[in-house]
Amino acid sequence: MNIFLSFFVESLPLHFTSLSNNFLIQQLVQLINYLSSHPSMSSSSRYGQLILGDSESIEGNKRRTNTRIHEVFISFRGKDTRASFTSHLYSSLQNAGINVFRDDDSLQRGDHISTSLIRAIEESQISVIIFSTNYAESLWCLEELNKIMSCHRTKGQVVLPVFYGVDPSEVRHQTGEFGKAFQNRWDNPNRVILDKVTEDTRLKEIVKLRKVILQAASLAGFVVLNSR
């Protein structure tokens, strides 16, 4: 039986809380496969009705006309999902013939993302943001997110949020455990990245990042509240 998913770009996230991680990954891969096979189906579209499980969407990788270097960029917090959800999603996308970029943040040094990573985001057709409990604690993740949403606005890059073990509302408003992680980023004097700027500038940066998180978390996406 085909599974129909209405992809409303401006709607609240779609909930798949009762689905297993493997089934969710399967559906996400098929959605990405469809979107990468239809470059005209961009984030500027009001909505598109996608048929997941259809053989045509599975075979979509054979008909791709996308000329970007990467079809998918995955933004994630390594200590939360590297060895679990992100690893399985990455492998599934590769097995489906999808060109995917996954930055290994275990190898990162310093706070700010590199020029090559910025280029990888710019050259991707789709970005998958895996929001997890400690995502907003990492400036690296927040800078990736800011760049992704910039490409979403200026290039029409498709953005698909995945809420892994966090409630979408808590992400949008930076409350709960997600909010604590975000606040910890700024409250710990040893981790403040703008240590040589004025308090006013620091507060403006916080407001900007809160807005970016809200915008990203308000897009249609996938929710897995049970991350076991």
Mean pLDDT per 10-residue section of the chain, whose length is 228 residues: 38 49 84 79 43 40 52 93 91 92 61 78 94 93 95 94 93 96 76 58 87 95 71
Using DSSP, state whether 126 is helix, strand or coil. Answer: strand
What is the dihedral angle through the alpha carbons of 138, 77, 123, 33, rounded to the nearest 10 degrees? Answer: -150
Domain with 126 in it: what CATH number?
3.40.50.10140
Scanning 156-225, the segments in alpha helix (DSSP H) are 168-173, 176-187, 199-217
Q: Are 58 and 92 spatial neighbours (Cβ–Cβ below 8 Å)?
A: no
Give residue 103's pLDDT: 76
Domain around 161: 3-224
Do 203 and 137 form a contact (C-beta atoms < 8 A)?
no
Catalytic residues: 144
Indicate the number of domains in the chain. 1
Cβ-contact 63, 97 below 8 angstroms:
no
CA pair distance 36, 72, nearest whole angstrom: 8
Predicted pLDDT at 108: 52
Specify the pLDDT at position 18. 42
